[in-house]
């Protein structure tokens, strides 16, 4: 193909990767590459199948100058992949985190298993946080064999996802992780996680307030609008997980079971003693739960004598 023909097709030769002796042409965006077929047929089943196709009648062979392989990638991304094969110093220390992320993405897409292993080994040198590593692998569209072990670590750790981690992973991934954690922690009844029986009154609401207190500073209505669905889902799941931790000290009073009625005496008729005991029990429950006597206790109060305080007033 002449320079004029290249210009008519709006192709620019990438001199760094237009190799002498190359026998395979690639068109990536408006760039033309000439590299060695050997590297692409050596380990990639995708390219093995692609390059073995017979050309249509009347066309040049696939991967030739007149019929180059067209890739859905950017020129810069493809150059990162070629750098692995044509590295002039036989060292990969100079590559940055984003470089290896790009290489991993293309290695997974074009089925280069050894290049994928190389990228993972070098990415592990950066000692990324588990969620950051998962987020990067997701962006790279990494294969399941890389993602599943990381998801397993996330589901097995003691701490549930925080709001920041939920935003990093995305709503769908976060929900999947929460569901997996629930399944693993309640194997007898998959998918269900009942609340403990010994919760104090108001424990769930207090836990939600503790987790979300920073989100509700100022005007509550304004702050609620700024919380995404991801944030609400994560906060709810984190609240449930927190309930399994050691309860904090609280001032909430537990409702005591009523004492058994006193044995009737000759001075107190049995019906009157039963009525007084019912009045005391109902008054205590209504006071603890609502802070005031309900209508039922009022009716009993009107029909029965209230106990008197030392100063003569009624006791509530």
Interval 54-109: pLDDT, tens:
888 888 999 999 999 999 999 999 999 999 999 998 889 999 999 999 999 999 99
Residues ≥6 apart with Cβ < 8 Å to 188: none
CA dihedral 196, 187, 138, 129 (to 10 degrees): 60
Interval 8-54: pLDDT, tens:
578 999 999 999 999 999 999 999 999 999 999 999 999 999 999 88
Query: What are the structure tokens assigned to 216, written together?
Result: 């509700």
Instruction: Please count the CA atoms within 13 angstroms of the CA of 263 that sit on its side-chain side.
Output: 2
Where is pLDDT greater, at 189 or 304?
A: 189
When mean pLDDT is compared across 123-127, 155-159, 270-274, the lowest value belongs to: 270-274
Residue 212 has pLDDT above 80, yes or no: no
Interval 36-47: pLDDT, tens:
999 999 999 999
Most confident among 72-86, 184-198, 233-247, 255-269 (mean pLDDT): 72-86
Enumerate the H helices of 86-170 as residue ranges. Answer: 97-109, 113-124, 130-139, 144-156, 163-169
Residue 135 CB neighbour total at 10 angstroms: 18
Question: In whole angstroms, what is the distance from residue 96 CA to residue 199 CA?
Answer: 50
End-to-end CA gap in the chain: 100
Question: In whole angstroms, what is the distance from residue 289 CA to residue 117 CA?
Answer: 62
Residue 67's SS3 state is strand
Residue 188 has pLDDT above 70, yes or no: no
Q: For residue 254, give the DSSP letter.
A: P
What's the gap between Cα 69 and its chain centre? 38
pLDDT computed for residue 182 by the predictor: 86
Q: Cβ(261)–Cβ(273) under 8 Å?
A: yes
């Amino acid at each position: 193909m002449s320079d004029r023909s290249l210009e008519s097709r709006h192709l620019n030769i990438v001199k760094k990767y237009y190799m002498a002796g190359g026998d395979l042409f690639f068109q990536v965006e408006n760039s033309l590459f000439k590299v060695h077929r050997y590297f692409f047929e050596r380990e990639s089943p995708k390219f093995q199948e692609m390059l073995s196709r017979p050309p249509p009648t009347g066309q040049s062979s696939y991967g030739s100058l007149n019929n180059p392989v067209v890739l859905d990638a950017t020129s810069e991304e493809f150059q990162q992949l070629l750098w692995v094969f044509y590295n002039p110093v036989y060292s990969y220390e100079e590559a940055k985190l984003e470089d290896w992320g790009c290489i991993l993405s293309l290695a997974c897409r074009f089925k280069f298993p050894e290049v994928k292993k190389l990228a993972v080994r070098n990415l592990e040198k950066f000692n990324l946080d588990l969620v950051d590593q998962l987020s990067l692998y997701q962006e790279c569209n990494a294969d399941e064999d890389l993602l599943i072990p990381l998801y397993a670590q996330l589901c097995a750790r003691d701490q549930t996802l925080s709001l920041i981690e939920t935003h990093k992973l995305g709503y769908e991934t976060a929900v999947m992780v929460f569901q997996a954690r629930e399944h693993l922690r309640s194997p007898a009844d998959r998918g269900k996680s009942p609340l403990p029986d010994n919760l104090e009154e108001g424990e769930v609401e207090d836990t939600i307030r503790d987790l979300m207190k920073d989100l509700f500073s100022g005007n509550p209505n304004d702050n609620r609008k700024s919380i995404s669905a991801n944030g609400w889902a994560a906060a709810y799941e984190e609240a449930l997980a927190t309930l399994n931790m050691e309860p904090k000290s609280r001032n909430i009073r537990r409702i005591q079971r009523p004492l058994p009625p006193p044995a009737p005496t000759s001075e107190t008729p049995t019906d009157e003693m039963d009525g007084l005991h019912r009045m005391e029990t109902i008054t205590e429950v209504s006071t603890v739960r609502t802070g005031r006597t309900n209508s039922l206790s009022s009716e009993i109060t009107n029909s029965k004598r209230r106990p008197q305080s030392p100063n003569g007033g009624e006791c509530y």
